[in-house]
Structure 1
Amino acid sequence: MDSNRPHGRRTVLRTIGTAVGGLSLAGCLGVNQDREPELYTTPAADEFEAVVDSMWLDEYLEDVELLDIRAEDEFAAGHIAGAHRLPDTELLRDHYEETADGYEASPEVIADIVADIGIEPDDDVVVYGEGSNLWETYAIYTLRAIGHDGTVSLLDGGYPVWDDAGGDTETGTPDPATASYVPELETDVIATRERVADNVREDGADVQLVDNRSPAEYVGTQKSDAVSRHGHITGAINIEFTQNLVDGGDRLRSPDDLEQLWLEEAGLDPAEETISYCSTAVRGSVGWFVMEQLGWETVRNYEGSWNDWGTLSEDDGYYYTTGEGTGTVIDPFA
């Protein structure tokens, strides 16, 4: 696959630098260059368009904006030099609302949050956290959903790898920064309740559906008080999001492993529209992100996911399947 890395675009509102008062700066990648380079480079970063590693970031650090999605206390204790913090609670809670027609994205809300930390639509952005896990891909999906024009990439391995490599870090909390951000909802990455329902029949589905929850949630034996129904959308297969990750979520699996998972084991066709979902679209964003990297032409994340679908009725055409032994569970790496 061809790479299309963030390159050379310097943001016009970089208000958080290495000389900001109240921040202490330490480190420089290369201090630990005598250590194994595979600790700081990853197969996913070599192959995938929207994945970078610490070695790449060290070279292009001044050309990108950084979004740290970890908790506030973790961020204050140490973060990559110049990073902004995007709170995961605001990311999940504030950018969509439940309406009579299902969950609807509110791009203006998330755009305001992003602008308040100093990000503009044209900025090339690298997102990082504690690894390559849930909130990292959800932040990428959310930026894409509000029409971000710059590249948005994942730092494979996250902050721990950067820190261990001796990369530039800061402590403390930067001064507030404000940018201008006018969102434009990108419907090509979002699946609404209506879109899912239009493609699900009583005996199957007209699009590829991937449930990223656990197998127990998928068949309905693990129940949640948030919904009245337990099981999966009729026609969906199950690929638990953890299948895409190694080392407890620290990194993405290799491209070869991911191709085996999605193309060989699951038998999915990248040329066919696919809808990813979970309970709240967070775990679903992992599947969405991986499918995009594998070259899917059209892949959407169901914003309401099971917390929406599980409250509906088959009488209105919202079909679901439940019971042990139902559906298809893909788990070659379990």
Structure 2
Amino acid sequence: MTGQKPDADGDEGENATRRGLLRAAAGATVAGAASTPAVSAVTTPADVAAQNEVSGNVGHFVGPSWLADNREDAVVLDARDPERFREQRIYRARRVPFDAITARKSTDEGAVPDTDAIADAFGEIGLTPDDDVLVYGASVGSRVTRVAFALAAVGHEGAIRVLNGGLSAWNGRLGTGSRDRVSPTDYEPDPATSTWVTREWLADGVGTFNADGPGLVDVRVPEAYLAAAGSDVLNEDHDRHGHLPGAIDVHWVGNVDGRRMTDPGRLVQLYEVEGELDRSETVVVYGDDNVDPTSTWLTLKAIGFEDVRLYDGGFGEWANVQGDRGRYPVETATNVVVETDGSVGGDDGGGDFSCTG
């Protein structure tokens, strides 16, 4: 960060966002900054901003200079917990009530996003369906991507973007405290059912995934995917362990390099080359729950996959189905386990990201 004193969000002073500095940072290089021996070990805010710029054919993720240039045109949403939000945040950011945007409801087909509850939560923070939105957290972890998914699920019409590098990449104006002057809105959802699948949808496709049907990606750690005997990552609340038949395993943390997205070339290697997924075909992602797999959902969309959907019920629903287990089979045989080496900075994992995902 820059070291400037944060403002309380109710302060209407003339502390303008430092757009010029961020635009300059976007064109800088770390090598250039380190070319003077006396300061070679110093990382400046401009260096950090430059490291988190996004270039090339990447969707949804943007760097700090984009926010500097569009701050007045985008609603900024903070995905972190209330304490961190009060301590320091992007000026005039609005905190998303995270529990509400993970809400699910039961249907005859299985659990699906509760779009009414999610829309109500967005309405409470003054959002309207046509607002252009930028979401940030401590990094680009799954708390952030769950907000992006929730927006898509309720049919949000405005653009949805994520700040690469999270709060630490931003060296513009900051705010503190919990004051919020926005007025609630009546956010009417237009559920985008094409963003998710149900338990029954998956049951109908068993035997086709990653063969002659849709791609299916399990985002949990390999030990959970393989039901490794004695592993402490196995959820003791589940009746069964393993994975959905035909699923490949790519642990979601591979999408994140510290606080920013993994290099797009590496992501293409993980999913298209090693995972052999087809970007022109439907791909479904799932985890133990409905937060961490949204990282893979947004990552695949960002690198050009056309139809990516989330199983919101997750393995937690599938593994505990009562009755006809034959319709909801679980397997432990290895299909494809794609090794990942990412790491999540900050606290932007949706749960215990080092375990089940």
**Residue 199 of structure 1 aligns to which amino acid in structure 2?**
G
Q: Equivalent residue for 1:241?
A: 252
What SS class does the counterpart of residue 71 from structure 2 fall into? Answer: helix
1:208 to 215, 219, 224: 215
- Alpha-carbon distance in 2 for matches of 1:159, 1:203: 38
For the structure 1 residues 317 and 63, does the alpha-carbon distance in structure 2 shift closer, same or farther, using more than 3 Å as the test? same
**Residue 52 of structure 1 aligns to which amino acid in structure 2?**
V
1:231 and 2:242 equivalent?
Answer: yes
1:104 positional shift: 2.5
What SS class does the counterpart of residue 153 from structure 1 fall into? Answer: strand
2:57 to 25, 47, 50: 47
1:168 and 2:173 equivalent?
Answer: yes
For the structure 1 residues 213 and 19, does the alpha-carbon distance in structure 2 shift closer, same or farther, using more than 3 Å as the test? closer
Q: Equivalent residue for 2:105?
A: 97
For the structure 1 residues 84 and 136, does the alpha-carbon distance in structure 2 shift closer, same or farther, using more than 3 Å as the test? same
Q: Equivalent residue for 1:114?
A: 122
For the structure 1 residues 264 and 24, does the alpha-carbon distance in structure 2 shift closer, same or farther, using more than 3 Å as the test? farther
For the structure 1 residues 307 and 161, does the alpha-carbon distance in structure 2 shift closer, same or farther, using more than 3 Å as the test? same
> 5 Å matches for 1:125-140?
125-140=133-148
Q: Equivalent residue for 1:86?
A: 96
Q: Which deviates further from its counterpart, 300-309 or 46-55?
A: 46-55
1:315 positional shift: 3.4
- Alpha-carbon distance in 2 for matches of 1:318, 1:149: 35
1:143 positional shift: 0.6
For the structure 1 residues 43 and 172, does the alpha-carbon distance in structure 2 shift closer, same or farther, using more than 3 Å as the test? closer
Q: What's the TM-score once normalised by structure 2's chain length?
A: 0.80
- Alpha-carbon distance in 2 for matches of 1:78, 1:85: 12
1:91 positional shift: 2.1
2:310 to 292, 301, 306: 301
What SS class does the counterpart of residue 238 from structure 1 fall into? Answer: strand
Q: Deviations over 1:248-295 (max 9, x none)?
A: xx1101111111111112111111111000011211101111111121
Q: Deviations over 1:127-166 (max 9, x none)?
A: 000100011001101110000000011101111221xx2x
Q: Equivalent residue for 1:315?
A: 325
RMSD: 2.5
- Alpha-carbon distance in 2 for matches of 1:202, 1:321: 14
1:242 positional shift: 0.8
1:106 positional shift: 1.9
Cα pair 2:57 2:303 within 8 Å, conserved = no
Extract unaligned runs of 5+ from structure 2.
1-6, 26-32, 34-43, 343-357
> 5 Å matches for 1:143-158?
143-158=151-166
Q: What's the TM-score once normalised by structure 1's chain length?
A: 0.85
- Alpha-carbon distance in 2 for matches of 1:204, 1:45: 31
1:203 positional shift: 9.2
What SS class does the counterpart of residue 98 from structure 1 fall into? Answer: strand
Cα pair 2:140 2:163 within 8 Å, conserved = yes
Cα pair 1:212 1:240 within 8 Å, conserved = yes
1:218 to 225, 234, 239: 225
Q: Deviations over 1:42-77 (max 9, x none)?
A: 364553221111111011100100110111111111
1:303 positional shift: 0.6
1:184 and 2:194 equivalent?
Answer: no
- Alpha-carbon distance in 1 for matches of 2:11, 2:65: 27
How many percent of aligned residue pairs carry the same amino acid?
30
For the structure 1 residues 270 and 144, does the alpha-carbon distance in structure 2 shift closer, same or farther, using more than 3 Å as the test? same
Extract unaligned runs of 5+ from structure 1.
1-17
**Residue 169 of structure 1 aligns to which amino acid in structure 2?**
L
